Chain A
Amino acid sequence: MTEQAFRFGRARHLIGIAGLPETAPDAIGVIVLNSGLVHRVGPFRLAVDMTRRLNTLGYPTLRFDFSTVGDSGASGESQSRLQQICADADDAMELLHQHAGCTRFVLVGLCSGAQNAHTVACVDGKVAGAVFMDGYAYRTLGFKIRHYLPRLLDPTRWWRRLTRSRAKTERSGSEPVFSTVPSPQAVVRADFSGMVERGMKLCLIYSGGINTYFNHAHQFRECFGRVMAHPAVSTRYLKEMDHTFVLVDDRKRLIEHIEAWLRRNFPVAHAGSSP
């Protein structure tokens, strides 16, 4: 198996690394998207470890930088960010089509990467599956009960609250926050239903690192309804892990989970093997 570096895209503005194992031309291509502003290697090299593991199983992969992120430049077009994301993802799929023959793809995204994967999956029929890690989530009634009730009943918390200094910690507000308004819950719920109706397979993996707005496996259904119980949807709550999977063993477990989901839903037929 080899990896190849590419400059590609409609304006040759994107940089990516493709892993191109020997596989049948109809193999599913796996594309790993940027997590926030971290370049294509991912947090703590998660995307590198993941794509190389998937390559050994026969999946062609691409980890790349969206326009103006990491090593990629701007396309020079006058487009909204969402239009750029969709066009960049289309360029990425075209690259894997050219070099591995892929016509169907799984998108993998963490945090903003999950939101970008969601955006593309809604509109691009070539996307057959998606892995959303710490993607969209909403504070449900169940979340609030699980979050606040133990705190209300904990006398030590009341004592700390009554006695602690008014001084804010450095974490609370000293850093600028750049964020976009998330899609409304009803829209995201309808999006998921639409993806499943189109035959897509979905894998949602949420971590304890987002416990300020997601704190239990039940919350998948609380947020998005019955579609989360559909056989095409897999959900997993990794309570003990953090948002970017900083520990080596956590990343290993995460990759094993994604690998098992892919093998169940998109088994690889190796080149030359009989159907």
Chain B
Amino acid sequence: MTMRTEAELPFFFGDRNELFGIYHAAAPTVGKAVLLCAPLGQDQIRCHRLYRQLAHALAMEGIPALRFDYYGCGDSMGASAEVRWDRCIRDTVTAANELRARSGIDRVVAFGARLGGSMALAASAAARLADVVVWDPVVDGHAYVAKLDAMQEALRQDTHRFIKPRPAELAGEQWLGFAVNPELRKQISGLGSGWEATPSLLLDSLPPTIAHPWKALAVDDASITLLQPPTPWDDLARLEVAILSHPLVQTVTAYLRAPRP
């Protein structure tokens, strides 16, 4: 893939310039711009390269894109322990408006993986998103929190990582490398019903052995595309391995470049 790095602009934006973003400029040809909503925690770091590849691919198709970090994430201001779901939604709204201002395009479509997909759906109305595309979104927050708790417990006892298991009190109030405040935990745990938006495309790469709770999103089967191979989101042995998927980049780019009402 040809990298048009000069067209990528890193900058801080939003109230008090607290949010970091990279704008991928393009000569608009499709009449839409894409907001890339990152997942949280280690998923964000694992997906960083893929998001960049996707932004490049979109820009090459004439679709401007904005990648950004929520407050307390990535290069944005704030500590990891300060991440809140409601603040992330506000940041998504701010980022959507920033994308409109920079691209001159009002029609903003969002893409998000895991909690980034959930975020895009939750922010859809407030951010005036014209469409949402999601990849393995977190739909059942309670089950997701339980999974992260179990992985955190396994991590502290992982003797491939540590010479000997670490005390439980050293591993509390954090998920897989990131501090988690009780409010965020409660907010994520509460995700599960009342989704106000439905994605027009849901990319499903969850392993067949676990639940695929897409009915909660009222998404019809025709809007679900299966991706192979399954993505190892919850594999502790791959915690620090990048998530890469050329099929994902190709599928999302082809879908978004097609004209839609």
Interface residues, chain A, CB within 8 Å of chain B?
A: 2-7, 12-13, 15, 17, 37-41, 43-45, 48-49, 70-74, 170-171, 175, 208-209, 211, 239-244, 246-250
Contacts and interface: CB of A to CB of B under 8 A. Distances in A.
17 contacts: A2-B17, A3-B12, A5-B12, A5-B20, A15-B10, A37-B49, A37-B242, A41-B45, A41-B74, A43-B177, A45-B73, A49-B80, A70-B48, A239-B163, A244-B240, A247-B156, A248-B174
Nearest to B72: A45
A5 B11 contact: yes
A43 to B, nearest CB: 7
Contacts of A248: 174, 178-179
Contacts of A72: 5
Which among A45, A70, A73, A170 has the greatest number of chain B C-beta atoms within 10 A?
A45
Nearest to A2: B17
Interface in B38-97: 42, 45, 48-49, 52, 73-75, 77, 79-80
A71 B162 contact: no
A242 B74 contact: no
Contact of A242 (B11, B17, B79, B161): B161
Contacts of B179: 248
A74 B3 contact: yes
B155 interface: yes
Given A41-B45, A44-B42, A246-B155, A71 B177 contact: no
B75 A240 contact: no
Contacts of A13: 5
A41 B49 CA distance: 13
Nearest to B52: A71
A40 B45 CA distance: 10
B77 to A, nearest CB: 8
B224 interface: no
| Chain B binding surface, main DSSP class | mixed
A240 B237 CA distance: 19
B147 interface: no
A7 B177 contact: no
Contacts of B163: 208, 211, 239-240
Contacts of B242: 37
A86 to B, nearest CB: 20
Interface of B: 3, 5-6, 8-12, 17, 20, 22, 42, 45, 48-49, 52, 73-75, 77, 79-80, 155-156, 160-164, 166, 170-171, 174, 176-179, 237, 239-242
A49 B75 CA distance: 10
Contacts of A49: 79-80
B155 A71 contact: no
A74 B52 CA distance: 14
Contact of B177 (A4, A6, A44, A239): A44
B173 to A, nearest CB: 8
| Chain A binding surface, main DSSP class | loop
Given A49-B79, A247-B156, A247-B174, 5 more contacts: A3-B75, A5-B10, A39-B45, A44-B177, A209-B162
A247 B3 contact: no
A231 to B, nearest CB: 30
Nearest to A6: B10
Contact of B75 (A41, A73, A208): A41
A171 B237 contact: yes
Contacts of A246: 155, 161, 176-177, 239
Which among A170, A244, A247 has the greatest number of chain B C-beta atoms within 10 A?
A247
Nearest to A48: B75
B10 A242 contact: no
B171 A39 contact: no
Contacts of A41: 45, 74-75
Contacts of A6: 10
Contact of A71 (B10, B80, B164, B241): B10
A170 B237 CA distance: 9
B80 A45 contact: yes
A4 B75 CA distance: 10
B48 A39 contact: yes
Contacts of B12: 3-5
Nearest to A239: B163
Contact of A247 (B6, B171, B240): B171
Which among A41, A170, A208, A209 has the greatest number of chain B C-beta atoms within 10 A?
A41
A37 B164 CA distance: 27
A250 B20 CA distance: 26
A249 B177 CA distance: 10
B8 A7 contact: yes
Contacts of A244: 177, 240
B20 A247 contact: no
